[in-house]
Amino acid sequence: MNLQDKVVVITGGASGLGKATAEYLVAEKGAKVALFDLNEDAGNATVAELGEDKAIFCQTDVTSEESIDAAIAAVMDKFGAIHGDVNAAGIPLPCKILDKEGIASSLKKYATVINVNLCGVFNVMAKCAEQMAKNEPDEKGERGVIINISSGAAFEGQIGQSAYSGSKAGVNGMNIPAARELARYGIRVNSIAPGLFGTPMVKSLGEKVVNSLVEMCEAPKRMGEMEEFAHTCSFLFENGYMNGRIVRLDGATVMQAK
């Protein structure tokens, strides 16, 4: 897909990897972006940076069909189409199976993570795919591209990540069935499983914790750069033969148990 003047929905688009991707796609690829996020101040500030002709912010809850329906309607009203979808919104809420006293974790806590990180991805993917299917196909028959953001924790989750790892493994599990189902519409689906990136959330953990995490990185021995993630999204949009696959973007990192 040629991203010039294409419209890309990005959940979690007002901060971290989502914002970095929005900035990259607008500046380097000439795309237009729709930022779906809960943080209104950050969303409006990002639109001001990118330009109102290139971006729109929609305050959204990815777990709510009504919220996403309203956001999709706003995007269609402003730009008239949706060609891409990057689902980067997620929460890292820790959830042990048993607490220090040996008491079972609350199912509500587990379900909260699954609802945002997995059900939320499906919700936005489905709503965007509905609009993509209405697009005129390009010269290669494509109507849209979906990129769902997973995590290295989907493969090697740490202690306390049962909910987070389960949700991200579920994101990866949707790749093949979604790619197969949406193929008839000319829509591709892939996921990225990032390792350690220098997002505001990671940096807020403090220097000592961050340094311990970097020690688990194999090569290069550093956190990933935001532009490296955004570049990978761009690659998945532009390479028409990438479909139904998981890209591990982690510098060969294998996280330890804790």
Active site residues: 164
Cα separation, 258 vs 250, whole angstroms: 17
131 phi and psi angles, rounded to 5 deg: -75, -40
**Residue 145, CA distances (Å) to 83, 85, 148, 190, 233 in order:** 7, 7, 10, 8, 10
**Residue 10, CA distances (Å) to 32, 146, 174 in order:** 10, 10, 18
**Tokens 């998945």, residue?**
236
Whether the CA torsion 192, 196, 198, 199 is positive or negative: it is positive
Q: Helix, strand, coil proportions of the chain in percent (round to 5)?
A: 45, 15, 40
Exposure of 6 in the CB half-sphere (CA atoms within 13 A): 26
Q: State the burial class of residue 100 (Cβ atoms within 10 Å of its Cβ: 0-12, 13-18, 19+).
A: exposed
Query: Which residue from 115, 124, 50 is spatially nearest to 84, judged by alpha carbons?
Result: 124
